[in-house]
Amino acid sequence: MKLAFSTLGVPGLPVPDVVRLAATHGYHGVELRAHPEEPVHPGLGPAERAEVAAAFRAGGIEILGLAGYARVAAPGDDDPVLTEIRGLLDLARDLGAPFVRVFPGAVAEQSRAEADATAARRLGTAAEYAADVDVRILLETHDSHRTGADAIRVLGPVGHRHAGALWDVMHTWLGGEQPSSTYAALAPHLGYVQVKDIASAEDTTPLPLGTGVLPLAECVELLSREGWDGWLCWEYEKRWYEQAAPLPGLLRAGRNHLARLLNESA
């Protein structure tokens, strides 16, 4: 498996510094938070996109994917959501990134059936465009659809290889789902896995990997046993938790922890 980290842990950090951190600490790739407050977002022009792609190539670091914020199950018209996703897909194509992350984002006023149908309809439409640019859209296990069982209710009806799943191990754990059940649901659709650690269900402040309660060893062992050979991406949510320790000082130990888990499960 390849190892990456998300720029959510180093908000606003210039691209050359992100590349340097990844290379210095032994990561293969980086997940870029694609938001206007970050250096990389859909508003970049062609020259800026080329510079970002060149910086990663020069550093020998892959761009794993773009973490977007489109909410495919949210109420409202389809067009704004589809336009947002197409912008992310175009950016991913230009940067050479294989994946784009989207959220479910249903609200309490929607029935489950309505939210599922809305998300499936939008993902099905967007997947056709994704196929044209050779990028996969990944629905993250998050918010209204936090478990694998939730995500598969959307992805099953879509049935398109360019619409897949991003397994966030925190959200499936918070949803009470066992890793084996999550993997069984998502395996045919799985793009990559976001790992992290927290103190408890009540305190989700990010912690160094291996110091919290999330079943990381179980997840890695399961993935290895099943022969899955994708990406593990450390999503350290420093952007939302100012009190969390800075990520750069944790990257080496985090990479070593994941490497140990991989070696133990080999």
> From first to last of its 266 residues, what are the pLDDT tens digits of the chain?
999 999 999 999 999 999 999 999 999 999 999 999 999 999 999 999 999 999 999 999 999 999 999 999 999 999 999 999 999 999 999 999 999 999 999 999 999 999 999 999 999 999 999 999 999 999 999 999 999 999 999 999 999 999 999 999 999 999 999 999 999 999 999 999 999 999 999 999 999 999 999 999 999 999 999 999 999 999 999 999 999 999 999 999 999 999 999 998 87
Q: What is the pLDDT of residue 26?
A: 97
The answer to whether residues 213 and 192 touch, using CB atoms and an 8 Å cutoff, is no
Tokens of 172: 């499936």
| Short-list 80, 79, 67, 87, CA closest to 139 | 67
Distance CA(210)–CA(258), nearest Å, equals 9
Q: What is the pLDDT of residues 58-109, one digit of tens each?
A: 999 999 999 999 999 999 999 999 999 999 999 999 999 999 999 999 999 9
Q: What's the rounded Cα separation, in Å, for the pair 190 and 26?
A: 24
**Cross-strand bridge partners of residue 195:** 234
Q: How many residues can be counted in the chain?
A: 266
pLDDT of res. 73:
98
**Nearest Cα to Cα of residue 73 among 30, 109, 105:** 105
Integer distance in angstroms from the first to the last C-alpha of the chain?
A: 11
The residue type of 240 is W
* Percent of the chain whose predicted confidence (pLDDT) is above 90: 98
pTM of the model: 0.97
Q: What is the CATH number of domain 2-265?
A: 3.20.20.150
